[in-house]
Amino acid sequence: MSDETQNNDATTEESPEKKSRRKIILFAVLALLVIGAGLFYWHSTFTEDTDDAQVDGDLYQVSSRVTGQVIKVYVEDNQTVRAGDLLAEIDPKDYQVALEQALATLASAQAAAIQANVNVPITSISASTSVSTTGSDVQAAQAAIAQAQKQAQAAEARVAQAKANAIKSQLDVDRYTPLVEKDVISKQQFDGAVAQAAANKAAVLEAEATVIAQQSAVSQAMQKLAQARSQANESVKNGPEQVRAQQAKANSALADVKQAQAKVDQAQLNLSYTKITAPASGVVNKKNVQVGANLSIGQDLLTIIPLTNLWVTANFKETQLEKMQPGQKVTIKVDALGGRKFHGVVKQIGGATGSRLSLFPPENATGNYVKVVQRIPVRIDFTNLQDENKDFALRPGFSVTPAVAVK
């Protein structure tokens, strides 16, 4: 071998110092990789994330609450609206007429109620007056009976007096008869005694007739007393009943007023339903209403997609839920917005797995069981959506990647 070749081989061989330096660098790189891998693994235990998540929101199905013909439509598909904005109008004429009829019925019911309520105190006073009057009639009838009885007693006394006078007169006639025959007394004196006896007999008959009349008056007074007592009892018994009956009529009239008022309220509601407004702020989709269409109750007109009331439904594996609990902070990356981040908090963890809540839950056959890691839906609410979503770029259905801070 020539001297030139030997020199080349010597230059290509590395010195021991270079080899030692290379080994040190290699070990350092490996150590850094191991440490980095360990730190990455350790840091990954601070969060739980999943790409099986999406933005959710309440979809508002706007429908008609009354029947009628559409006269105006104010929105189009994909138009942004705010809560309370007018979407469409139904012809209100029929409902205006119904409201006027209801108002007229209410006015009539109110007038009837006023009259019925006014009659309550009138009936009460009338009943009290009737009780007082019939009581006075009873007292008057009792006084009339006492007076008639006294007059009857006086008439009986006059009968006794008339009979005594008649007996005396007859005795005088009997004494004067033999005397007149003997001309002891004059014929004129005897005729006077006979006339007086006849007059006294007539007085007896008259007194007896008066007694009969006074006794009849007593009977009549007793009948009037019985009638007065019956009327008094009837007034005492029926007076409160009449008042209660009139009060019941007044209450019924008030109930009619309330019923009429309810019909007015319903008519006003139906009239207000002819103006269909947005229940929430959002974007109009699936518009299915045109001017001239005849709507029925409950007919869907359009859907409003909300832009503010949003949340995230994340389907985490059951193995990720060990340390997860409500209240933990969440960082949410939105794929459609280039990884734009939002902040949220775990609201609640679902009560069952997605497979168990499906239309046909799986039933694993005995002896043929394969364990499959299940997923649990977790609701995540945005904590600062108003500021982070000022441009309303977030939409329901967007795929997101939430990372829950579990440590």
CA–CA dist 251, 228 (Å, integer): 33
pTM to 2 decimals?
0.58
User: What's the domain range around 197?
Assistant: 95-272
Low-confidence ranges of the chain (pLDDT < 70): 1-14, 38-45, 119-138, 141, 148, 155, 172, 176, 180, 184, 225, 228-229, 231-243, 359-360, 362-369
> For residue 249, what is the domain's CATH number?
1.10.287
CB contact at 8 A, 317 and 373: yes
48 part of a folded domain: no
Q: In terms of domains, do 279 and 158 share one?
A: no
Q: In terms of domains, do 265 and 120 share one?
A: yes
| DSSP 3-state of 47 | strand
297 part of a folded domain: yes
Per-residue confidence (pLDDT) for residue 191, from 0 to 100: 72
Per-residue confidence (pLDDT) for residue 166, from 0 to 100: 72
Q: What secondary structure does DSSP assign to 115-136, as a single string? A: HHHHHHHHHHHHHHHHHHHHHH
Instruction: Count CB neighbours of 152 within 10 A.
Output: 19
> Which parts of 82-196 are beta strand (E)?
86-90
Per-residue confidence (pLDDT) for residue 241, from 0 to 100: 65
Question: What residues have CB less than 8 Å from 387, skipping those under 6 apart?
Answer: none
Q: In terms of domains, do 152 and 74 share one?
A: no
> For residue 86, what is the domain's CATH number?
2.40.50.100
Q: In terms of domains, do 116 and 187 share one?
A: yes
CA–CA dist 118, 120 (Å, integer): 5
For 173, 178, 191, the CA distances from 184, given in Å and listed in that order, are 14, 9, 14
Question: What residues have CB less than 8 Å from 261, skipping those under 6 apart?
Answer: 106
For 183, 360, 400, the CA distances from 313, given in Å and listed in that order, are 155, 21, 9
Per-residue confidence (pLDDT) for residue 137, from 0 to 100: 63
Q: In terms of domains, do 267 and 278 share one?
A: no
